[in-house]
Amino acid sequence: MSRPAVGYAQLWAADPGAWRAAGAEWAGLTGLVDRRSSALAGHAVTLDGGWSGAAAGAAGSRVTGLASEVTSVAPALIEADQVLAELAARLTAAKGRLAAAVALADASGLSVDREGRVGVDPARVRPSERDGPAAARVSAALRGALELAAAADRTAARRLADLAAAAAAGWQSPPPPGRPAPDADPARVRAWWAGLTPAQRRWLVAHEPALVGGLDGVPVAARDQANRLLLGARRAVLLAERGRLLARLPPGPVDTARLHLLDARLAGLDALAERMGGAAGPRAYLLGLDPAGEGRVVVALGDPDDAERVFTYVPGMTAGLDDAPGELVRAGRVLDRCAELAPGQRSAAVLWLDYDAPDFLHEAVTAEKARDAGPALHRFQDGLRATHDGPPARQTVLGHSYGSLVVGTAARDHGLAADALVFVGSPGVGVGHAADLRVPPGEVWASSAADDVIRLARPPDELARRALTGTSPLAAALGWPGRDGHELWFGRDPADPGFGGRVFPSGRHGHTGYFDADNPALDGMARVVLGR
């Protein structure tokens, strides 16, 4: 059997972070492209204002064409970043498998030399065991790591060669007429996209980024390219709104409150942009962004289309664009724990904040916003399944607080493309039993901290009964005195054994501490994502 193209010493010395940084440098060139394109557009305006006639028209057209040509390079720069980031991720997984193989060798009294050959320590292993089961397992693990690295190298080389060929042949060409509707079935969207040429896809990314960036069923890489191209325009929308508020002199109390919210959204957007431009940690993929209202955003850490394990995290009450950086940190903590527990596997996390989360208690006591979010979450999960490359990934959907009701309601009413559901800090998930969620009960998981105030939320009928019997309104609302049942505001507690799911422990970290590094709940979430 031939040896993999990547050698043991080569993989051991490989630096995935260097490839990740190189990709970020390519993506950073999009700023230069924007500046050059804007400058050319300005020259075209100047020509138009001070020159007339046929020659002026020809010159203006040429300058406008140059600006368009410069702009057309931007998606390719982002694509180069994606290629190198995916190479880095696969090399990281391969190095994890390599380290695990070496650890297995050491535990078995074997050694691995610089060429990747498995040897025997005579003081620990009898010569008769030189070719025994342990040596065979170590050799197979080493070969698997090297083959993964070699496959990653071949894929990256092919994709970069395709980009180089496109630079010579032309980046873009217009696609045929006809576009999917925004709420089209993701499988149909995937089929439509697969029928386009690479040049037609790049044309759509560059000329119709709002369409491409929001279509479930378009591959993650293309959506990320499109939404990154829209970042500047999205920020400009918020700045324009801020300018209109500042123009009102003197601003009233309502204007001042709106200005505060706008500044918070701008800060959140800027923090996300900084995270997406950095080379530290898994690459961020921007899958959706809408600054209107409280703001909505969908961001992945790692490429879900290439990962073996993918989890979608749905946050709860008050979550919006201003909170997105912090919520992304929470998702990242679960992803980091997955990497610690399974360094040889490729996992990806998705922050799904594509719904209008309740801001106030009177909104959070109804399931209306959860019901409204259901179709979009259902479609998004179907899209992840449709665009995934290779064998299907294990998909997990995780909801915290009101987000758990969003997940449960979507699963109950529409079904979710998910292999497992996880609920933490839940006020109830809209069903009375795990079997009503349309996934195997053994893959419905929950955790509730002993000091989580959500455990005190009682169902409305119980509150009315207590109020009628003389319990104070505040005590009734909080469920005091005592916790004499397993019903929460939106149904049976999913962390109760009678719900029919499975439970993992949490420390006393309150309602927001499930993602704390020292909380055993973080391990529990990661193990569900990994399928352990």
Query: How many CB atoms within 10 Å of residue 260?
Result: 11
Q: Reply yes or no on whether the pLDDT at 111 is more than 70.
A: yes
Give the residue-averaged pLDDT of 332-355.
96
User: Between β-strands 110-112 and 502-503, what pairing exists: parallel, antiparallel or unpaired?
Assistant: unpaired
| 145 pLDDT tier (thresholds 50, 70, 90) | very high
Nearest of 479, 477, 496, 492 to residue 365 by alpha carbon: 477
Judge if the upstream peptide bond of residue 133 is cis by omega within 30 degrees of 0. no
DSSP conformational letter for 510: -
Quick one: pLDDT band at residue 33, thresholds 50, 70, 90? confident
Q: Tokens for 44?
A: 């075209």
Report the alpha-carbon distance of residue 409 to residue 402 in Å, rounded: 11
Closest CA to 205 of 187, 234, 185, 228: 228
- Interval 220-270: pLDDT, tens: 999 999 999 999 999 999 999 898 888 876 767 777 888 899 999 999 999
Dist CA 78 CA 220 (whole Å): 12
CA-wise closest residue to 420 among 401, 429, 402, 407? 407
Interatomic CA distance for residues 307 and 89, integer angstroms: 9
CA–CA separation, 415 and 374 (whole Å): 9
pLDDT at 483: 42
| pLDDT surpasses 60 at 127 | no
Secondary structure of 89-119 as H, E, C letters: HHHHHHHHHHHHHHHHHHHCCEEECCCCCEE
User: Residue 129 CA to chain centroid, in angstroms?
Assistant: 46
Contact 255, 263 (CB under 8 A): no
Q: Mean pLDDT, the chain, as a whole number?
A: 88
Residues 6+ apart with CB under 8 A from 439: 411, 416, 418, 419, 420, 421
Confidence of residue 181 (pLDDT cuts 50, 70, 90): very high
Please state the pTM of the whole predicted model: 0.89
Q: Which residues, including other chains, have CB under 8 Å from residue 169's CB and lie 6 or more apart?
A: 199
- State the pLDDT at residue 287: 98
Could you tell me which of 306, 330, 347 has the C-alpha nearest to residue 96? 347
CA dist., res. 116 & res. 119, Å (int): 9
β-partners of residue 491 are 488
DSSP at 442: G
Alpha carbons 478 and 476: distance in angstroms, whole number:
5
Distance of CA 22 to the CA centre of its chain: 22
Q: Are 341 and 530 in contact (CB under 8 A)?
A: yes
Helix (H, G, I), strand (E, B) or coil at 143: helix
516-531 average pLDDT score? 98
Q: How far apart are the C-alpha atoms of 14 and 25, rounded to whole Å? A: 19
Structure tokens at 184: 């089209």
Q: Is the pLDDT of residue 5 over 90?
A: no
Lowest mean pLDDT, pick from 89-103, 353-367, 475-489: 475-489
Q: Which two tokens stand for residue 509?
A: 């970290």
pLDDT at 470: 47
Tell whether the model's pLDDT for residue 43 goes beyond 90: no
User: Is the four-CA dihedral 232, 233, 235, 239 of positive or negative sign?
Assistant: positive
